[in-house]
Amino acid sequence: MASRKKQAPVPASTNPVSMADLARELGVSMTTISRALSDHHSIGPAMKQKVLKLAKKYNYQPNRLASALRKGKSQLIGIIVPYIEGRFFPSVVHGIETAASRAGYNVIICQSNEDVDQERRNLDILLSAQVAGILVSMSRTTLEADHFETVRGRGLPLVFFDRVPEGDNVNAVVLDDQEGGYVSTRHLLSQGARRIAHLAGPQHLNIYKNRLQGYRQALHEAGMAPDEQLIVHTDMSQEQGAAAMRQLLALPAPPDAVFAAGDYSALGAMQEARRQGRRVPQDVSISGFSNEAFTLITEPTLTTVDQRCEEMGQAAVRLLLDVIEAGTAPFTPRQVALRPELLVRGSSVRAAKAEPAAAHLS
Amino acid sequence: MASRKKQAPVPASTNPVSMADLARELGVSMTTISRALSDHHSIGPAMKQKVLKLAKKYNYQPNRLASALRKGKSQLIGIIVPYIEGRFFPSVVHGIETAASRAGYNVIICQSNEDVDQERRNLDILLSAQVAGILVSMSRTTLEADHFETVRGRGLPLVFFDRVPEGDNVNAVVLDDQEGGYVSTRHLLSQGARRIAHLAGPQHLNIYKNRLQGYRQALHEAGMAPDEQLIVHTDMSQEQGAAAMRQLLALPAPPDAVFAAGDYSALGAMQEARRQGRRVPQDVSISGFSNEAFTLITEPTLTTVDQRCEEMGQAAVRLLLDVIEAGTAPFTPRQVALRPELLVRGSSVRAAKAEPAAAHLS
DNA sequence: TTGTAGGCGTTATCAA
DNA sequence: TTGATAACGCCTACAA
């Protein structure tokens, strides 16, 4: 549409200049060039300057393929995630890319689309690409972790994050979900709640099991017997959150607080509570999990738990680099559990500092 | 914590097996191996089967580094984005990765962090990595596109998306923002609105300029003179959206609809309107832009424009592959404009089919 | 149908 | 301090 500027007549495909070209031009050997460029010790400062100047002049770019082939190791880190969408994985990937590039690595990313076979193929591809290490968050359909053994067999550094296999013989970075459930519940207690319900997630997934566990632990420590009626299992959707709330409010003794294992179910619950004329947080306090973007714009804003996505990515890279640097030296698999951060917002803070309320304990 | 399963005593770093290994074992030449594996025509079916069987047995993985080095082209596509967060870029990357891997390519991803220098370094890295092509969404601080000339100079396929340089001598995929502004405004008109305000974004960014342009076009076609008082410039934040709404409602003749150039400012406007006792959409209709996740959970849900993130990624890959396949043949730069999708929701639909309202035209 | 040999660009080893 | 040379693993004329 706009002005046709001076357009190159033909995209005169310039060949990249190689070390051999520089060597020829300077009348020295390739070895010298290589040494100058890689800042080797046995090289004269004068020679080095000459080489660097010429390299700059011709805008020399090292061929990383050749280098990696020769050295047997690339500067690439492979990532396998179920998908790149929503809030969680993109943020983790963001953290990974940032930490990796700071350390001089680049990142090649694959999606498994929650499919084990795709995950297997991704592994093969990354092995073929001679990556220096692999970061994986397993697909939902990955029941056995045997395909990761071939990676191990190659002696290739491997670190799992978030969706990790059980056991302590793998490197893994996870969020401490139990702690998340624990601090959330303790917070609700501190606000004066005495009948705290829990909207649980699918219990075959560790994260939800652990959040429930933390909830139980907090109640136990507070000397409260858990009321199984107050634990409702959902698929974590907004709809089922609302349904669960309906069910809870219909109880003879309805809860005065709800800890949901996810933000969407928390949202559904909050909307349902208000629909039924309950005030949030005065009549019923609510807290969620994941720090979804929308939790800041609900009215009231939603108390939630931040999952430290970026930190998880960075921690995974750090661990991977440790393994890489260990080289062939024996490395004992390490597990890292990140401490979640409770974000206290409007949906759970009752006006009066609620300590005295402990009097009317159930 | 859990059971210590049978743990490999030493991670016996198995060397990857090469074509030479297979050749030795079978007593044939590497050429034969290569041909068998790459399904070359001049190879006996018996031989081929033998080779494939052995390859499977040893779990042979081709070394893509070596292959790429030899062929001068890798199966990698480089992406440079300002960052991997929020809704937009992750979705585009998702689309890119999906389309690329379907075509047998893998994706190496870099963030410029909105910094030209970082963008330059990223370009160098991707060139070094001998990628087959590059997809870029420019950083905010990229005022001149001269550093992309070196990529062109190398004859390396290059496609811009979303944040693209001006002019028609680059390959580019963008959303048709003007169309988005146009259909949004037409929709509000069709609902009976007669004084439509616009919350504009920073006008030095093309996307916002074009959305405003679409708004003007729709009004013009409807035979309405634009009222400059109804065009408020904001930084697209929720806060400024609310402030703008306050200002608009204080006018002698306040608007009966608002088209915001972004969802956050739309949200701010909607909240402010309700705070002042205006009903949405009856008293004032509202529509936003970007289809942020939260637009589905506001009350009422927010009418908005979807930016076709994934399609953008796929279109960018398709265009890139076209350029790659053209090889050295001359390729005329191509620009693709994706048609946005208006998502009509509660914030803009007035109960009665509003055509008759045209009577009380201002 | 199969084999031989050279080279892609870099780095490591050895000798000068 | 520098240079010659041989790999790294794969591909592809060309020859048999």
**Three-state SS for B222?**
coil
State the DSSP code for B335: E
Q: Does the C-beta of B30 come within 7 A of strand C?
A: yes
Of A11, A129, A328, the CB nearest to B155: A11
- Give the C-alpha separation, A330 to B13, whole Å: 11
The share of chain A scoring above pLDDT 90, in percent, equals 84
Residue of chain B nearest A63, judged by CA positions: B128
Residue of chain B nearest A264, judged by CA positions: B297
Token pair listed for B295: 């637009």
Quote the crossing angle between the two packed helices B64-71 and A64-71, to the nearest 10°: 140
Name the burial class of residue B85, with classes exposed (0-12), middle (13-18) and buried (19+) by CB atoms within 10 angstroms of its CB: middle
Q: What is the pLDDT of residue B255?
A: 98
Cα separation of the two ends of chain B:
73
Distance of CA A56 to the CA centre of its chain: 39
Token pair listed for A224: 């409260």
Q: Under 8 Å CB-to-CB from A258, ≥6 apart: which residues?
A: A196, A197, A198, A199, A245, A248, A266, A269, A284, A285, A286, A287
Q: What is the pLDDT of residue B142?
A: 87
Q: How far is the CA of A32 from the C1' of C11 (A)?
A: 11
Q: What is the pLDDT of residue B157?
A: 96
B233-to-A300, B188, B197, B258 alpha-carbon distances in Å: 28, 20, 11, 13
- Give the C-alpha separation, B138 to B123, whole Å: 11
- Give the C-alpha separation, B278 to A105, whole Å: 54
Q: What is the pTM (predicted TM-score) of this model?
A: 0.91
Q: Does the C-beta of A35 come within 7 A of strand D?
A: yes
Pair A72, A130: CB distance under 8 Å: yes
Which residues of chain B does A165 touch, with a Cβ-Cβ cutoff of 8 Å?
none
Pair B300, B345: CB distance under 8 Å: yes
Helices (H) and strands (E) in chain B, counts: 12, 12
Residue A26, pLDDT > 60, answer yes
Q: Which parts of chain B sit beneath pLDDT 50?
A: 1-11, 354-362
Of B127, B169, B271, the CB nearest to A7: B169
More confident call, B338 vs A39 = B338
Partner residues linked to B158 by β-bridges? B134
Q: What is the pLDDT of residue B327?
A: 86
Q: What amino acid occupies position A316?
A: A
CATH code: domain A74-175+309-337 is 3.40.50.2300
How many residues in total does chain A contain?
A: 362
Q: What is the pLDDT of residue A205?
A: 87
Residue with tokens 């999708």: B341
Residue nearest to nucleotide D8 (CA to C1'): A70
- Peptide linkage before A300 cis (omega within 30 of 0): yes
CA angle A173, A179, A182 (to 5 degrees): 160
B110-to-A129, B81, B301 alpha-carbon distances in Å: 18, 6, 35
| pLDDT tens column, A115-159 | 999 999 999 999 999 999 999 999 988 888 899 998 988 889 999
In Å, how far is B31's CA from the nearest CA of chain A? 20
Q: What is the pLDDT of residue A55?
A: 95
Q: Domain limits of chain B?
A: 1-62, 74-175+309-337, 177-307+342-360
Distance of CA B263 to the CA centre of its chain: 17
Token pair listed for A132: 């220096």
Partner residues linked to A106 by β-bridges? A76
Among A106, A166, A314, A336, pick the best mutation site for testing chain B contact (most B Cβ within 10 A).
A106
Task: At A195, give phi and psi (nearest 5°).
Answer: -125, 95
Pair A283, A332: CB distance under 8 Å: no
Pair B321, B360: CB distance under 8 Å: no
User: In this predicted structure, which of A9-23, A222-236, B303-317 has the lowest mean pLDDT?
Assistant: A9-23
- Give the C-alpha separation, A227 to B340, whole Å: 51
Nearest one of B292, B79, B313 to B174, comparing CA atoms: B313
Q: Does the C-beta of B20 come within 7 A of strand D?
A: yes
Render B117-162 in DSSP notation, one character per residue.
Answer: HHHHHHHHHHHHTT-SEEEE---TT----GGGHHHHHTT--EEEES
Alpha helices per DSSP H over A191-231:
206-221
CATH code: domain B1-62 is 1.10.260.40
Pair A287, A302: CB distance under 8 Å: yes
* Residues 119-158 of chain A whose Cβ lies under 8 A from any Cβ of chain B: 124-125, 127-130, 150, 152-155
B43-to-A157, B19, B26, B33, B349 alpha-carbon distances in Å: 38, 16, 15, 9, 68
Beta pairing class for B341-343 and B304-306: antiparallel
Token pair listed for A279: 């005030």
Q: Under 8 Å CB-to-CB from B24, ≥6 apart: which residues?
A: none
Q: What is the pLDDT of residue B352?
A: 59
Q: What is the pLDDT of residue A153?
A: 87
Find the Cα–Cα–Cα–Cα dihedral A25, B155, A6, B168, rounded to 10°.
-160
Beta pairing class for A196-200 and A231-233: parallel
A1-to-B162, B170, B173, B204, B284 alpha-carbon distances in Å: 17, 12, 15, 19, 38
The share of chain A scoring above pLDDT 70, in percent, equals 93
CATH superfamily to which A177-307+342-360 belongs: Response regulator (3.40.50.2300)
Partner residues linked to A79 by β-bridges? A109, A135
Pair B37, B58: CB distance under 8 Å: no
Alpha helices per DSSP H over chain B:
19-26, 30-37, 45-57, 64-71, 88-102, 116-128, 149-153, 177-190, 206-221, 238-249, 263-275, 309-326
Render A116-184 in DSSP notation, one character per residue.
Answer: HHHHHHHHHHHHHTT-SEEEE---TT----GGGHHHHHTT--EEEESS--SSSSSEEEEE-HHHHHHHH
One fold for A1-62 and A177-307+342-360: no
Q: Under 8 Å CB-to-CB from B9, ≥6 apart: which residues?
A: none
Q: What amino acid occupies position A341?
A: E
Q: How far is the CA of B77 from the C1' of C10 (A)?
A: 22
Beta pairing class for B106-111 and B133-136: unpaired
- A29 and chain B in contact, CB less than 8 A: no
Q: Under 8 Å CB-to-CB from A133, ≥6 apart: which residues?
A: A77, A78, A156, A157, A158, A159, A320, A321, A323, A324
Pair A60, A17: CB distance under 8 Å: yes
| pLDDT (average), residues A184-189 | 98
- B18 and chain A in contact, CB less than 8 A: no
A333-to-A145, A159, B11, B325 alpha-carbon distances in Å: 15, 9, 11, 45
